[in-house]
Structure 1
Amino acid sequence: MKKTYKLSREPEVLRPDLCIIGAGSAGLSVAAIAASFGASVVLVEKSRMGGECLNVGCVPSKALIAAAQQAHAFRHAERFGIGSGDDPAVDFAKVHRHVKGVIAAIAPMDSVERYTAMGVQVIQAEASFTDGRTVTAGGKTIQARRFVIASGSRPAVPPIPGFDQVSYFTNDTIFDLAEKPEHLVVIGGGAIGVELAQAYRRLGARVTVLEAGERILSREDPEMAAVVERALRREGVALRVGSAIARIEPRPDSRFAVVLEEGESVEGSHLLVATGRQAVTEGLGLEAAGVESDPTGILVGRDLKTSNARIYAIGDCVGGDGAMGRFTHAANHQAGLVIRNALFRLPIRWSRAPIPRVTYTDPELAAVGLTEEEAKAAHKAIRILRWSFADNDRARAEGATEGHVKAVVTPRGRILGCAIAGRHAGELIMPWVMALSKGSKVSELAGLVYPYPTLSEVTKGAAVEFLKPSTQNPWLRRLIGLVRRLG
């Protein structure tokens, strides 16, 4: 009788320069830059290419906000002599198609095909470390020279009794909603919560925001957050601050009631949980790799290396002091730093770059550097410079006079921080970001030539405020008098 033998195949071993776990903004940026330098790259992604930003975050939310802005403009066009001021007919199915269409238009830039064409080997599977220098994924063993964990984050759902008895959305699922909510209840008054609350209100839904803290946008300067709060209330968003939740109860016809600790109930038709995001670390085999983490995410040093010097962590999965606010632009910045160190051994310190943040409400709220409270805690003396959009001619012409610039500087004019609440604040913050990055003084911003009439002149207005006290200097006045006598 002839014996048959089954040949065992050893797992394929890949030895690239870099192995990146996660194909969100952070991971894709590292892969693209490294491949452009000719490095060998393996990119592992267990879910969708593009990660949170493309599929359920920045891209769909801004597409929805843009649709809501059109509806808002239609309602208020009468003040410019156009239309009748009637409510627009909002077709939620078409709005939904618009959002999905924007995602589909951008998706090819993040696709497997594009990265494969760059020379990146993409493995669509779950990755897990088996030891400090080995990852397995999709039946392959990867022993890279360096690893980059960019596993991203997921919505954080608080342990409120009753969540398991009702249906609810997070920002990962809300963009699948193709119908108008009768009454959308938003739990959480952070950036995601207030952005989507305003958008759905402008699209015709009744909206209530429940925030357990004393105010919305608690991480921002209260003076600037108040500008956004006034706008939301004026548009009909019901804001309930200091509203701690006791439980959630189901109601007939798929409705629900959010029961507050003081006993009052808020009933709604659709529930959105917007209480932040948490790092994705489970299943990665961090312990086997010798990578330290805590409940906030993976811990890194200022060089973005984990406790295993071969492994970096960037983007939303980073916790502790290394977290940079979970912004796409911060993740992209970290990606560039990792390339410098991993491929060229150049020293890096991620904390040096000022990272701006923007809340995309209308008006927008953008900020960079220290708030007034933080600056007072760190410096003996500061000056606050303000300039209102109401004093800007372009804002007057466009009927967008709400908001102001608030800059925090030292008595000698060194910029410590700036916040802008107003039209296009996210664009207008960039001169302040540049000034902070270069260590410039506010007088340098005052000395720039700004095109007229543009909203950018609000920066000049605030910067010139720093110079005004010098006009009262008695020595300067004596000098003017001397020049006058000289003819």
Structure 2
Amino acid sequence: MKTIQVDVAVIGGGTAGMTAYRAARARGKRVVMIEGGPYGTTCARVGCMPSKLLIAAAEAAHAVAAAPAFGVHAGPARIDGAAVMARVRSERDRFVGFVLESIDGIPAEDKIGGYARFLDARRLQVDQHTVVEAGSVVIATGSTASVPPDWEKAGDRVIISDDVFDWTDLPASVAVVGSGVIGLELGQALHRLGVRVTLFARGSSVAQLSDPLVLQTAARTLSEELDLRFQTRVTGVAADGAAALVSSVDSAGKQRSERFDYVLAAIGRSPNVGRLGLELTGLALDERGVPLYDGGTMQCGDSAIFIAGDADDELPILPEAADQGRIAGDNAARYPQVRPGLRRTPLTVAFCEPQIASVGARHRDLCDSHAGKFAVGAVSFENQGRSRVMLQNRGMLRVYGEFGSGRFLGAEMVGPRAEHIGHLLAWACQAGLTVAAMLDMPFYHPVVEEGVRTALRELASHLSKDGAEQLCQDCTPGA
């Protein structure tokens, strides 16, 4: 067992860890990055990039199916599952290669292979070969998809999203359990590629939506295409020959047992903190074992330990992981003179169709923080000009503004081009623009963004009045 001394030790070599490493190195510190698994970010290996490759194939198949509505008849589509998955894996490996090139650029002496565990707040043991004595530590250990233990009896018939991208062909059927972003994206993509898909949702939620009217619109619209079963609990998963037998019960008590080739568990992710020995650090932990931390500095208590990325169980998306890693690495290098870093306006996107986006403050949060102090503007995309031209006229946008200041607070939407509208609104929110200032911006014609103007005009009208009484019903669940 050898012992080394460093200024900063970063546990984890994913997006947050790599960013933290570079931020600490930029301050001239001696930094090591400890990684026990394969290098390459979740995004590149099993997350955002391979999922978008699968979605792109699904969009191509859907375009063929939708073409007759435009008077274009391409003939029956033939989906080559093996070719679809070959491109997904090939391009996925290409993206991972870019990450590995970046890793290769890190000096060998700055990389330690193995799993780290705290001996105390300033010392780590890596496997059975190295003790690292560090001035400060960044925890960037990521997260793992959750699978109920009793489902394990079904063996390899139960999978997580990571496993999908190693398929060499498309299966005939998949049960997707969970209606969050991962479940919706993969479930709809597989459905459009000819796989029989059923999505089981324990509650009534869809992706990250909290606005009741947007949520209702999303649920209705997606259910028109997908076998999406809300208020349905999966009561058991068992092996049944070369398939899985899925038992479920809905809100009315109706029970079903159905066979699927695979069961995709998309019920959430758990932060990888359980084996770090955090009980030896003296840190206060929450109910999931995650250290309590300051969201501005990423510092855990007043210690020399910082946390970033999926490990903190806040918002498991790449831009957040990168921002948190940068803040954590910078503060670990400057400890004890820590300072708040830039936390950008929250922006999340689900790449189902129609797309779903949340920007800034969500409706549920505003009902707590701004009850009676915010107004809502809305637009339906059903009759929005450009949306109808493209036959993508489904969905709703709701925008929120603050009484008095007129400041734009956030938005939730399901509809066409949500990934682009989300960015437009996130920039406005971070810039602190008022609704009036946003309406002074240019809008071309005909574009989907004209729908944003419609919603902002309604919001401006409400902001010009005393809308507190009008708003109360809006804050009620199910309104």
Aligned partner of 1:415 in structure 2 is 408
SS at match of 1:335: helix
Whether the 8 Å CA contact 2:378–2:399 is kept in 1: the answer is yes
1:305 aligns with 2:296: no
Judged with a 3 Å threshold, the aligned counterparts in structure 2 of structure 1 residues 272 and 468 are, in CA distance, closer, same or farther, namely same
1:92 aligns with 2:81: yes
Aligned partner of 1:3 in structure 2 is none
1:26-76 Cα distance to aligned partner (Å, 9 max, x none) = 111212333345433211111121232221121211111111111111211
| Structure 2 counterparts to residues 421-440 of structure 1, below 5 A | 421-440=414-433
Separation of aligned partners in 1, 2:95 and 2:114: 23
Q: 1:362 aligns with which of 340, 353, 369?
A: 353
Whether the 8 Å CA contact 2:217–2:395 is kept in 1: the answer is yes
- 1:162 Cα deviation after fit: 4.9
1:441-484 Cα distance to aligned partner (Å, 9 max, x none) = 11111111134333333322322333457999xxxxxxxxxxxx
Separation of aligned partners in 2, 1:263 and 1:194: 23
Letter in 1 for 2:315: G
SS at match of 1:141: strand
Aligned partner of 2:473 in structure 1 is none
Separation of aligned partners in 1, 2:237 and 2:464: 61
Aligned partner of 2:196 in structure 1 is 206
| Structure 2 counterparts to residues 234-273 of structure 1, below 5 A | 234-235=224-225, 237-260=226-249, 262-273=254-265
1:336 aligns with 2:326: yes
1:27 aligns with 2:17: yes
Separation of aligned partners in 2, 1:331 and 1:204: 34
**248-257 or 275-284, larger mean C-alpha shift:** 248-257
Separation of aligned partners in 2, 1:37 and 1:145: 14
Aligned partner of 1:114 in structure 2 is 102
Whether the 8 Å CA contact 2:358–2:411 is kept in 1: the answer is yes
SS at match of 2:379: strand
Separation of aligned partners in 2, 1:315 and 1:469: 38
1:232 aligns with 2:226: no
SS at match of 1:293: coil
Judged with a 3 Å threshold, the aligned counterparts in structure 2 of structure 1 residues 446 and 364 are, in CA distance, closer, same or farther, namely same
SS at match of 2:199: strand
1:174-205 Cα distance to aligned partner (Å, 9 max, x none) = 22223322221111121111111101000001
Separation of aligned partners in 1, 2:391 and 2:28: 51
Separation of aligned partners in 2, 1:214 and 1:398: 29
Separation of aligned partners in 1, 2:41 and 2:459: 44
Aligned partner of 1:485 in structure 2 is none
Aligned partner of 1:386 in structure 2 is 378
Letter in 1 for 2:359: V
Aligned partner of 2:114 in structure 1 is 125
1:290-341 Cα distance to aligned partner (Å, 9 max, x none) = 34434424223213122461111111111xxxx4221221111112222442
Whether the 8 Å CA contact 1:28–1:50 is kept in 2: the answer is no
| Structure 2 counterparts to residues 141-152 of structure 1, below 5 A | 141-152=131-142
TM-score (norm 1): 0.85
- 1:407 Cα deviation after fit: 0.3
Whether the 8 Å CA contact 1:186–1:197 is kept in 2: the answer is yes
- 1:118 Cα deviation after fit: 4.3
Whether the 8 Å CA contact 2:19–2:329 is kept in 1: the answer is no
1:114-169 Cα distance to aligned partner (Å, 9 max, x none) = 3342447222221222222122326233222221110011011135x454134211
Letter in 1 for 2:269: R
Separation of aligned partners in 1, 2:464 and 2:403: 16
Q: Is there any run of 5+ residues in structure 1 with no aligned partner, and where? A: 1-9, 473-487
SS at match of 1:377: helix
Separation of aligned partners in 1, 2:92 and 2:151: 33
Judged with a 3 Å threshold, the aligned counterparts in structure 2 of structure 1 residues 152 and 162 are, in CA distance, closer, same or farther, namely closer
Separation of aligned partners in 2, 1:263 and 1:468: 49
Two-structure CA RMSD over aligned residues (Å) = 2.6
Separation of aligned partners in 2, 1:168 and 1:285: 30
Aligned partner of 1:192 in structure 2 is 182
Separation of aligned partners in 2, 1:71 and 1:293: 47
Letter in 1 for 2:454: G
- 1:223 Cα deviation after fit: 2.2
Judged with a 3 Å threshold, the aligned counterparts in structure 2 of structure 1 residues 245 and 393 are, in CA distance, closer, same or farther, namely closer
Aligned partner of 2:475 in structure 1 is none
Separation of aligned partners in 1, 2:9 and 2:464: 60
Separation of aligned partners in 2, 1:41 and 1:89: 53
Separation of aligned partners in 2, 1:242 and 1:469: 35
Whether the 8 Å CA contact 1:40–1:119 is kept in 2: the answer is no
- 1:398 Cα deviation after fit: 2.3
* Structure with the larger RCO, 1 or 2 (CA within 8 Å, 6+ apart): 2
SS at match of 2:49: helix
SS at match of 2:53: helix
Letter in 1 for 2:299: K
Whether the 8 Å CA contact 1:129–1:286 is kept in 2: the answer is yes
- Please tell me whether Structure 1 or Structure 2 has the larger radius of gyration of its CA atoms: 1
1:442 aligns with 2:466: no
Separation of aligned partners in 2, 1:100 and 1:293: 39
Separation of aligned partners in 2, 1:116 and 1:373: 44
Aligned partner of 2:172 in structure 1 is 182
Aligned partner of 1:404 in structure 2 is 396
Q: Alignment length, in residue pairs?
A: 453
**252-261 or 100-109, larger mean C-alpha shift:** 252-261
Aligned partner of 1:458 in structure 2 is 451
SS at match of 1:178: coil
Separation of aligned partners in 2, 1:470 and 1:24: 44
Whether the 8 Å CA contact 2:23–2:330 is kept in 1: the answer is no
